[in-house]
Amino acid sequence: MACVELKKINKTFGKIEIIPNVDLRIEDGEFVVFVGPSGCGKSTLLRLIAGLEEPTAGDIEIGGEVVTDLSPKERGVGMVFQSYALYPHMSVYENIAFGLKLGKANKGRIQEWVEKTAEVLQLTSLLQRKPRELSGGQRQRVAIGRAMAREPRIMLFDEPLSNLDASLRVQMRTEIAKLHDRLQSTMIYVTHDQVEAMTLADKIVVLNGGHIEQVGTPYELYETPASLFVAGFIGSPKMNLIPATLQGSAQGNRSQIKICGMGTVSLDRGTSHLEDGAKMTVGLRPEHIELEISGPDSGLEVVNVEYLGNEAYVYLEMPGMEDLVVVRESVPCQVQAGQRVTMNAEPALLHVFDTDGRSLPPLASVPTGEEAVQLASQ
């Protein structure tokens, strides 16, 4: 077990800078998840920690020791990849033992270790099977067992579940969470999957073009995204991001913000760094919008209603906005396609972003009893 520290890490491939300058601290025993769009540098960062890539500049410390020049073996990390890459001709036992044999451990110790690992991963009854005789989830557990073979101080996972079907993913997600609880080792996990990130992580690191956009608990990232990028990335369905403009200059703590295709709202946000007419964005989570059916000549048009069994998604057409607005409704859903509706939301639940996409949080503590703003089409 150990903490990991990245200090001013830069990685350039040829002339292309992939990781410009990353500082990050991961605590001992923490479960950290890297998320971000394809190509943003998640795997590169993981490979740098593992020692499979060398940084162009900067240092990596594990357990307080600089490991930048150490080989992967010397760093004490175990890595699990998307493809399990098991040795097909070897049994589960031999696959798990492989890492230990390389380390010239004696036979008794190997047996003891494989049996302990198999028990943790619930593979005891499968030890004599070959990989082809296993399900996807079982194979991935063997790959985890092999990565655990050297009792790594840190376990790294690069999208380990993305080749599995939906129900196996859910099962393996729970297995990995249980494994972390049992081993209490530091784990760094890369995924595209929102639910995996939210459910497994103590701390999520959101990457964008090799930069860290925000680091926080799942709760912090969902409730208080620091930027438009994080707001749009965390949450499914996505937060609705509606173009808006600043009207006049701030009066005390209040700013007048005109939301595209809707009304002007007075909000408790600091906009003194912006000019009159500055372009802004207002973000609204699908579950924070309440709909009210309006007359045929007002409101917004309901384009589609998706029924999911436990809830429904209502899609609205917003003038001046390319994307449809999505609203999460309980079932039975009162709204039907073709109807017109107005939207209401609590002011404290609106996310406001400035021209550069930075979040403007409420200035005062959350006001109590403030009237809901009606965001009806004008």
List of residues contacting Mg ion (CB under 5 A): 43
Closest CB to ligand ATP among residues 31, 34? 34
Q: Which two tokens stand for residue 56?
A: 């162009």
Closest CB to ligand ATP among residues 23, 65? 23
Closest CB to ligand ATP among residues 208, 374? 208
Cβ 233 to ligand ATP, closest distance in Å? 13
DSSP string computed for 174-202 = HHHHHHHHHH--EEEEE-S-HHHHHHH-S
Q: Tell me the torsion sign for CA atoms 61, 63, 65, 71.
A: negative
Cβ 160 to ligand ATP, closest distance in Å? 12
Does position 43 interact with ligand ATP (CB under 6 A)? The reply is yes
Please choose which of Mg ion, ligand ATP, none residue 280 contacts, taking the beta carbon within 5 to 8 angstroms, the exact cut-off set by kind: none
Please choose which of ligand ATP, Mg ion, none residue 377 contacts, taking the beta carbon within 5 to 8 angstroms, the exact cut-off set by kind: none
Residue from 9, 22, 26, 40 in contact with ligand ATP (CB under 6 A): 40
Does position 41 interact with ligand ATP (CB under 6 A)? The reply is yes
Please choose which of Mg ion, ligand ATP, none residue 38 contacts, taking the beta carbon within 5 to 8 angstroms, the exact cut-off set by kind: ligand ATP
Indicate the pairing of strand 186-190 with strand 340-345. Answer: unpaired
Cβ 188 to Mg ion, closest distance in Å? 13
- The helix, strand and coil proportions of the chain, stated in percent and rounded to the nearest 5, come to 25, 35, 40
Q: Which two tokens stand for residue 280?
A: 């802004």
Indicate the pairing of strand 57-62 with strand 4-13. Answer: antiparallel
Distance between CA atoms of 60 and 24, rounded to whole angstroms? 10
Cβ 44 to ligand ATP, closest distance in Å? 3
- 59 in Cβ contact with 8 (< 8 Å): yes
Distance between CA atoms of 348 and 365, rounded to whole angstroms? 10
Which H or E run contains 354? Answer: none
What are the C-alpha distances in Å from 97 to residues 94, 111, 121, 187? 5, 8, 14, 22
Q: Which residue is nearest to Mg ion (CB)?
A: 43
Which H or E run contains 339? Answer: none
Closest CB to ligand ATP among residues 38, 365? 38
Closest CB to ligand ATP among residues 63, 72? 72
Cβ 9 to ligand ATP, closest distance in Å? 13
Distance between CA atoms of 40 and 106, rounded to whole angstroms? 43
Does position 12 interact with ligand ATP (CB under 6 A)? The reply is no
- 214 in Cβ contact with 226 (< 8 Å): yes
Does position 13 interact with ligand ATP (CB under 6 A)? The reply is yes
Please choose which of Mg ion, ligand ATP, none residue 55 contacts, taking the beta carbon within 5 to 8 angstroms, the exact cut-off set by kind: none
Please choose which of Mg ion, ligand ATP, none residue 13 contacts, taking the beta carbon within 5 to 8 angstroms, the exact cut-off set by kind: ligand ATP
User: Where would I find the H helices in the chain?
Assistant: 42-50, 72-75, 92-102, 107-120, 136-148, 166-183, 194-200, 218-223, 228-233
Residue from 2, 18, 126, 148 in contact with ligand ATP (CB under 6 A): 18
Please choose which of ligand ATP, Mg ion, none residue 120 contacts, taking the beta carbon within 5 to 8 angstroms, the exact cut-off set by kind: none
Closest CB to ligand ATP among residues 114, 143? 143
Cis amide leading into 160 (omega within 30): no
- Of the ranges 36-44, 140-148, 248-256, 332-340, which one interacts with ligand ATP (CB under 6 A)? 36-44
- Of the ranges 37-45, 225-233, 254-262, 280-288, which one interacts with ligand ATP (CB under 6 A)? 37-45
Distance between CA atoms of 231 and 14, rounded to whole angstroms? 33
**Residues that bind ligand ATP in the complex, under the rule CB under 6 A:** 13, 18, 36, 38-44
